[in-house]
């Protein structure tokens, strides 16, 4: 893996310091019209425009943050990822955890499985190289 010198950019041709992004420039153009735009959005929402209504409600009532309650799966035989996945799905199907939580847990399980696979491959390659060097 490449290591960069401290204070040296890994992308020297990247965006220059102090450069503003397009969103900032557009926001500056809209800023003088903000009161009228908000008033119009509210007016459209009150007239039944579903998109305007959703936009207004999203600003008034932001979506809830993801549930971060601990999840206890219990012991999983032989640290088997398939059984762990089944345990996660069983909790989701029973309503113990939300589908979103199950999805995040399954993603974490997939990542952990990939990490374990890389570790195992690394050990096998090291053993094969040692065996080849000994011959």
127 pLDDT tier (thresholds 50, 70, 90)? very high
Backbone phi, psi, residue 6, to 5° = -60, 130
- Tokens at 42, concatenated: 């509210």
Q: What is the pLDDT of residue 77?
A: 66
Domain residue ranges of the chain, discontinuous segments joined by +? 31-60, 77-134
Q: What is the pLDDT of residues 113-122, one digit of tens each?
A: 999 999 999 9
Q: What is the pLDDT of residues 19-47, one digit of tens each?
A: 778 888 888 898 999 899 999 999 999 99
Cα angle value 25/22/64 (rounded, 5°) = 100
């Amino acid at each position: 893996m490449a290591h960069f010198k401290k204070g040296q950019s890994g992308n020297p041709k990247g965006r220059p310091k102090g450069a503003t992004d397009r969103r900032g420039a557009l926001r500056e153009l809209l800023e003088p019209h903000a009161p009228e735009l908000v008033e119009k959005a509210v007016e459209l929402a009150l007239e039944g425009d579903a998109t305007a209504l959703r936009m207004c409600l999203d600003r008034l009532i932001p979506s809830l943050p993801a549930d971060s309650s601990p999840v206890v799966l219990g012991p999983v035989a032989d640290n088997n990822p398939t059984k762990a996945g089944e345990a996660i799905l069983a909790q989701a199907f029973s309503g113990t955890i939300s589908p979103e939580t199950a999805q995040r847990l399954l993603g974490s399980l997939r990542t952990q499985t990939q990490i374990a696979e890389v570790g195992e491959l690394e050990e096998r390659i090291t053993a094969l190289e040692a065996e080849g060097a000994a011959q």
